[in-house]
Amino acid sequence: MVGLNADWSVTDVKLDVAEKMLRLTVEYVGQGVVCPDCGTSCAMKDHAAERSWRHLDAMQFQTILTARVPRSHCNECGVKTIAVPWSGKHSRFTLLFEAFAIEVLLAASSIQSAAELLRIDWSTAQEIMKRAVERGLQRRSLEDVRHVGIDEKSFGKGQDYVSVMTDLDASSSGSESGSHHRVSQSVVEYTVGVAAEEDSGCLHGHVAGLRVQHRGECSKSTDRA
């Protein structure tokens, strides 16, 4: 449910009714550790300081996962905190929470309303979208993509924008349901949280080194790559 593997075990569950929090403590029970940089099995050095990750709410209680993550002692890379199966490298949220947050962001009328539903702030919502893009790009090779469609999507009153990049060749073939699936996957994979600079009125985003910039009055014109 949390995304633990056999190396991790839940050692404590506390329900804090006053704070409406469910706190799970997990501990590493695996044999040995793997260097997060080079993947070599190595000795455990010690445990890093306690960290917490927000997980999916349970019965409207915020669920917080807490752990002290082991640090590996690699001959090549030195001392590193190992990767955990439930979360990305620098995230304060579990992968399941982030996946749910993306669904809420896609369904909501604005980033702000999604952030309120998720009880996170606007910039955190942006970070979650950015990490979803990075994960999508890691999963998918861009070498086969020949034609890229760039579109701009506005939410609500048009104060929040995202740039959506689509593989045109892949999205123009296949059944209707298939292409719908691809489009929503593309939105998850390629949606870039675009920072709107209020004074200049300019929007820009980055996708895998490709810089997308909309100049001028933030019109809804479509750029083509």
Contact stretch for Zn ion (CB under 5 A) within 23-31, 37-45, 52-60, 101-109: 37-45
Q: Does 38 bind Zn ion (CB under 5 A)?
A: yes
Q: Of 74 and 105, which has the nearer Cβ to Zn ion?
A: 74
The least CB distance from residue 69 to Zn ion, in Å, is 16
Give the amino acid at 93. F
Task: Specify the residue, 77 or 183, whose C-beta has the smaller distance to Zn ion.
Answer: 77
State residue 162 phi and psi, 5-degree precision.
Answer: -130, 150
Q: Which stretch binds Zn ion (CB under 5 A): 66-74, 120-128, 146-154, 188-196?
A: 66-74
Binding test (CB under 5 A) with Zn ion, winner from 77, 83, 99, 148: 77
Residue 35 found at the interface with Zn ion (CB under 5 A): yes
Select from 24, 74, 188, 192 the one that contacts Zn ion (CB under 5 A). Answer: 74
What does the block give as tokens for 123? 């910039």
37 contributes a contact to Zn ion by CB under 5 A: yes
> Which CB atom, from 41 or from 109, has the smaller least distance to Zn ion?
41
DSSP state of 90: T
> Shortest gap between Cβ of 41 and Zn ion (angstroms)?
10
Burial label for 129, CB within 10 Å (0-12, 13-18, 19+), is: buried
Residue-level length of the chain: 225
- Pull the structure tokens for residue 223: 């750029």
Rounded CA separation 46/65 (Å): 20
Cβ–Cβ under 8 Å, residues 222 and 212? no
Max CA distance (Å), the chain: 58
Q: How many residues bind to Zn ion according to rule CB under 5 A?
A: 6
Applying CB under 5 A, which residues contact Zn ion? Answer: 35, 37-38, 74, 76-77
